[in-house]
Amino acid sequence: MTTTDTVRVRIAPSPTGNCHVGTARTALYNMLFARKYGGKFVLRIDDTDLQRSTKESEEGVLEGLRWLGIKWDEGPDVGGPYAPYRQMERHHTYREVVSQLLASGQAYYCYCTPEELDAERKAAMEEGRPPRYSGKCAHLTAEQRAELDAAGAKRVVRLRAPQETLTFVDLLRGEQHKDMAERGDFVIVKSDGSPVYNFATVVDEHLMEITHVFRAVEHLTNTFDQLSVYKAMGWKPPQFGHLTLMLNPDRTKISKRAGAVYIGEFREMGYLPEALINFLALLGWNPGTDQEIFDMDGLVQAFSVETLSKSDAIFDIKKLDWFNGVYIRSLSVPELALRVKPFMERAGFDVSDEARLEAAVALVTDRLNKLTEAPDMLGFLFTKDVAISAESFAGKAKIGPEQILDALKQADGVLRQVDTWEHGPIEASLRALAEAMGWKIGDLLMQVRIAITGRRVTPPLFESLVLLGKDESLRRIGLAIAALEH
């Protein structure tokens, strides 16, 4: 795709909750498009929902996008030439446009009560007609309006819907059309004076000189109401592209009921922002090659509207886990330790010794798929409170408690003789003991592993012993011996 105008795109989230993965994907595609064509990416807060919009939710949305590495050129936090970037701070612009529409006769005041409108809808549906507004207030005289105003009647502003079929070419879905004669005149300003979304967003897009609107497919039907506003004002609309849905593996729409949907949740679950961005990019876009791993610069270079998918995308959490593992293993040990540290601290472990934490993280880099797994894998290295009991050793029937007790006592004896507490001498002493006992080395190491960790699956044993130190390792073996004896 090429364009002769300066590309200006936007993301316009409603601050009514945390940052949804759908919002993040839409923001990502808009940012990639702007970067691809040297344009501007605008973030605007659509806070016309007065009852649900909060400052906390706004910051939650912005923080989620920032964490992912999505950066905007203009917005409520960074400013820009088209400020303000919150709809509730732009009411003067909406009032000006409404005045123009009322003056030209393209819009009018409607005084119909909710009860009257409900009755109209019910009658239309009973008669098999589309439940659209009848236009009852479309031709009130100035005197009639004055009487209603004097009586304190509540009023909204309605736009006269064009009595024709409106058409636009969706950048993903091709030609779209709708007969607006079936729509009926629709509300653009509520009775409390606040603008309706489909009106406010048009005013903002026009005044902010937005050239392309990429948004969720749920907004496809809204486009025709918006085109009606553009037509009434004589404004050129932007180009529209409506993105596919994100679905669960069972092809239901992704929702909170089926699992995590907010960026903050994925952050808490131990996903890396780089992995989540890469995963989201491929949910609705195909680079046209077998390449799956992209950094942000790579995404900008490869991205194109032509390769955006026309089919709904499956949100496969197992695929996200795979991406996360790939990105974890791409980090240096110091960087991974830095990412792991908050999760270890949250679990109650003292990881202030950076060198020790890095040494521990190095043991599990190849096994870690989410940062939340680190405390479970490494916690025994940062605490003295490892729960060990006789039941911890219950396992293979061929090795009884008496044999395990004897093996640990002998292991304790040979390990006390190790002068240099390093991997090589520790391994040599235990291998020699296993051979002398006639045991498989794996069987002996399993008993020592359980004694020092309380678990059967842990990071490499010899490196773990080195990190624990000789005194602590022997102390734990002693506790295990005592547990088996009693």
Rounded-to-integer distance, Cα 34 and Cα 214, Å: 11
CA end-to-end span of the chain? 76
List, in order, residues 6 or more apart from 40 with CB less than 8 Å away.
6, 7, 8, 9, 34, 73, 74
DSSP labels, 339-404? HHHHHHHHTT-----HHHHHHHHHHHTTT-SSGGGHHHHHGGGG-S-----GGGG---TTS-HHHH
Instruction: Judge whether 394 and 388 are in contact, CB under 8 Å.
Output: no
What gap in Å lies between CA 356 and CA 383, rounded to an integer?
A: 13
Beta strands in 98-196 (DSSP E): 107-110, 156-159, 165-170, 174-179, 186-189
Residues 6 or more apart from 359 whose CB is under 8 A from it?
Answer: 463, 467
Active site residue 256: yes
Q: E-strand spans in 184-258?
A: 186-189, 212-216, 239-243, 246-247
334 close to 310: Cβ distance less than 8 angstroms: no
Query: Which structure tokens are listed for 347?
Result: 């679990």
Q: Of 122, 154, 256, 440, which is the active-site residue? A: 256
Structure-token match 């073996």, residue found: 477
Residues taking part in catalysis: 256
